[in-house]
Chains A and B, each alone.
Chain A
Amino acid sequence: EAQVTQNPRYLITVTGKKLTVTCSQNMNHEYMSWYRQDPGLGLRQIYYSMNVEVTDKGDVPEGYKVSRKEKRNFPLILESPSPNQTSLYFCASRQDRGSTGGDEQFFGPGTRLTVL
């Protein structure tokens, strides 16, 4: 089954304690990205990656890091989480054909993070 998986699904942590949210896709997609969802703001892109070892900032990258060492994995790292990073996080992947074609973006199930 084609899917994007994320772990953990739920996480409560404290300010300053480093954490990693994993993301993996089994569709051989080049393009992967992370979004955060906050009430009234929709989803906003944090970081994206067009291929292995190619990553770049999205709209709200502050306080986050990513890496893309393998095509299938794209972890999100919070080195020193703060309460304003409490949010619902989505990993997503799609084929990137360099067009605006309807390449369906597959979303993971989401990770609900609370930083106390």
Chain B
Amino acid sequence: AQKITQTQPGMFVQEKEAVTLDCTYDTSDPSYGLFWYKQPSSGEMIFLIYQGSYDQQNATEGRYSLNFQKARKSANLVISASQLGDSAMYFCAMRGRGGRRALTFGSGTRLQVQP
């Protein structure tokens, strides 16, 4: 079974500062993928970034980077230079190779960017 843990229900950050959202995972699959999604107040799910378990380098997408530490089973999202529009709910998710290959989600972290 897969499990995603996000231990920060809520976070505050000042505009233009960097913020790290924590995510730890547990799986018995040797091959898996890790994802981050953003959910603004309007409700839609927006894909941010992906990291494969065998990828040698940490994934980056613009201001988003994924700090992947495989031995510690962590996949933290780093947002650089926060903007007011980054205020949203953020979900970490993973997908294994076997079975139904569903996304398993964490409970989310609500980020509020303050001016």
Q: Is the CB of B105 within 8 A of A42?
A: yes
Contact partner of B45 among A90, A100, A101, A102, CB < 8 A?
A: A90
Does A99 touch B at the CB level, under 8 Å?
Answer: yes
Which range holds the interface residue count of chain A? 20 to 34
* Complex partner residue of A56 from B43, B50, B91, B100, CB under 8 angstroms: B100
Chain B: how many interface residues by the 8 Å CB criterion? 26
Closest chain B residue, CB of each to CB of A102: B50
Partner of B95, one of A41, A44, A100, A110: A100
Question: Measured between alpha carbons, how far is A107 from B39 in the docked complex, in Å?
Answer: 11
Binary per-residue interface labels of chain A (77-116) against chain B in the complex, 1 for a CB within 8 Å, 0 otherwise: 0000000000010101000101111101101011010000
Are A105 and B31 neighbours in the complex by a CB distance under 8 Å? no
**5 other A-B residue contacts (CB within 8 Å) besides A58-B102, A105-B35:** A33-B102, A100-B32, A102-B50, A107-B45, A109-B43
- Expressed in whole angstroms, the minimum distance between the Cβ of A100 and any Cβ of chain B is 4
Query: Which residues of A are interface residues toward B (Cβ below 8 A)?
Result: 31, 33, 35, 40-45, 48, 56, 58-59, 88, 90, 92, 96, 98-102, 104-105, 107, 109-110, 112
* Chain B 43-60 residues near chain A, CB threshold 8 A: 43-45, 47, 50, 52-53
Residue of A nearest to B6 (CB): A42
- Please indicate the chain B residues that have their CB under 8 angstroms from the CB of A40 in the complex: 107
Q: Is the CB of A101 within 8 A of B4?
A: no
12 contacts between A and B (CB under 8 A): A35-B103, A41-B107, A48-B102, A58-B102, A59-B102, A98-B97, A98-B101, A100-B29, A100-B97, A102-B52, A107-B44, A110-B45
